[in-house]
Structure 1
Amino acid sequence: MSGSVEVRQFLLRYEGADAGGGMAGVPSQRSSQADAPRVSDDQVRRARLAVAAGATDAEDCAQLLDMLGLVPDETGQVPVQR
């Protein structure tokens, strides 16, 4: 349980929410597809590298990439970029 608290505290510090004393770093829910920013090819590449660095083995890496939508579909498009 303390691990999740530590992660939350780290994220709050990283986003700068501790300085404001509120939940300024928490994003609001998007209202439409037009509000959704596009995920760039570079972001996908960096996300794949981060997943690969944290994976325990090739199978773990493949599962994580698939769950996160970072594996191209039949058309070659990455689901996170739709």
Structure 2
Amino acid sequence: MNGSVEVRQFLLRYEGGDSGGGGLAGLPSQRAGQADAPRVSDDQVRRARLAVAAGATDAADCAQLLDMLGLLPDDEGQIPAQR
């Protein structure tokens, strides 16, 4: 079990968290801006829509979840998740 603790500490050290046991160690930091945000591909949107549809209870639930996640096109035809 000692090895797994060492691996966890190593990962925390290189993912930006400290290994000193702070309350926020290992949590991802907020992105600074749009420049470093990766683009969401059309295939990722398609797979996300399928996953939402598979978990939805009915069509209204599916539409609401897709809207909440930014996976429905807006008035201009753009998908908010891909902006």
TM-score with structure 1 length normalisation?
0.69
Aligned Cα RMSD in Å? 2.0
Q: Find runs of 4+ consecutive structure 1 residues off by over 3 angstroms.
A: 22-27
Identify if the C-alpha distance between structure 1 residues 35 and 51 changes in structure 2 by more than 3 Å, giving closer, same or farther.
Answer: same
The higher radius of gyration belongs to 2
Matches within 5 A, 1:3-82: 20-22=7-9, 23=12, 24=15, 26-82=27-83
CA deviation string 1:24-69 (max 9, x = no partner)? 5753321111000000000000000000000011110000000000
Q: Distance in 2 between matches of 1:67 and 1:58?
A: 14
Q: Distance in 2 between matches of 1:26 and 1:20?
A: 16
> Structure 1 regions of 5+ residues with no counterpart?
1-17
Q: Distance in 2 between matches of 1:33 and 1:21?
A: 30
Q: Distance in 2 between matches of 1:68 and 1:61?
A: 11
Identify if the C-alpha distance between structure 1 residues 30 and 63 changes in structure 2 by more than 3 Å, giving closer, same or farther.
Answer: same
> Structure 2 regions of 5+ residues with no counterpart?
16-25
